[in-house]
Structure 1
């Protein structure tokens, strides 16, 4: 996808080649140039030209000539749930790995370090203008610390610097295109019409959508139940930790979740009961390092990335017996 056009490509091409496969890569239509440059670098480094093909084409051509092609034995896809379902319905018996996004949530328990939580949630919710599959979209905050967290996260959001992302002092840059800005704004306006209260943001500045914090939300609102892929954070109070876990699970998605708590029992309860592919204790769901097994459950997809796990996904087990 467009948000990490080099890193996410390497997550797929590297393990595929390491496992002895040849690769056909279709880059995101909005960011194809990075993939072409990567291909040139790999060829210059000595990769056989037969090992990698980069195809810039329409989604229709990709479906007809790649997804349905019987010569292709494995598809690894990162993108939307809608396109993932379409690939799965047309791929036949090919092996598939799917990372299809999420509306990731974080739980802020009582007696936790609120300043630490705010610092992390600020980055998880608004970094890359929220255009991250594990963007921190929902915050379930214990009612005993709700007011403090709300005040501090709104202050943190308002302090972020909007500007050119190539400049070191910039915190928030533009979204990918006009269409996405219009969509996110319409979701915020729809939530307001349904009773939500915008605490900050909710407006655009050129091609930048301002960091937005919303409260008084319901689970039926798009900014809660769907993947916003924008700089929005919905605040939801709770008074029982198990109830917060249940509410976070009430989603078609299940990629990653974060839990800030000093209670070890609550931490292990979350680990055991959160229906997600990764649980980050005292961190936001946006945490990811390349070596970890990364992937989701439910409509967030299936399969795992990370070199070791991706290589396993991209190989086939063969049983051999010698009878001498």
Structure 2
């Protein structure tokens, strides 16, 4: 399946039904008067978050969605039937904005969450509505109103608590395949991973924590260089960032600053700036270091910024200690959120 995380669609609420002009003419009903019914309301267009959907691929083939029109009113004061609503299923984690104004319409996160994105038009009034002492036989009615029309931009932002970032070939895919059941493509050339990969890792509480491998970050990613600009948005919902560095690279410290600079240049729509997120520095491929090489100087420098873990994603060395650090940091961020909620 192709990974499509952006789409633009148009939505149109149903037109309200027209009111009608009618009069009662039954036998034995003197001066029956006006009896034209109101038109029915047009259907609404709604979006609904559903599990089991992981991309916006469906919207590549269908981009216009319209609800059913309301029915016209009937005689004998009968109101027309309302139009049926149109429900559009979308993946959890989809951000919806108005394509014309840039206004945030909804952030659909919870499964089953439903949001009206285009209102149906009101039904027109039948002539019975205009009966008065001055007008005993109104011969006019109102047409139904058109439904709301909008152009919407959909952006899928993955629901992951931990984001793994790093330069191409740092070992992000190998790491996520080691700690979870994810099976991403792994090769020894840059940009092997072309789409984000999700993996669920069992945590000490007994449930699962979602990790995301964010591909394509290189210098200039925030300007669209490489693939990073397309996928930086998927870090926005994360509570913790893992900076994965290749310990065999010529300058791991410089690589760390390269990624930090790209995160600093990106302005998220959701949450705090990326550089203010809790983070953990992980030096990978320690099994591939030539004999005699030492990481002490590198670790000492990087430790001035954040805690450092040494691992080998291939052999599994250091993975358990790294995950313990992850659980500890996630627990701390959860405590901060709860304390802020109590103060509020």
- TM-score, structure 2 length as denominator? 0.25
Higher gyration radius (CA): 2
Higher helix share: 1
Higher RCO (C-alpha 8 Å, min separation 6): 1
Higher strand share: 2
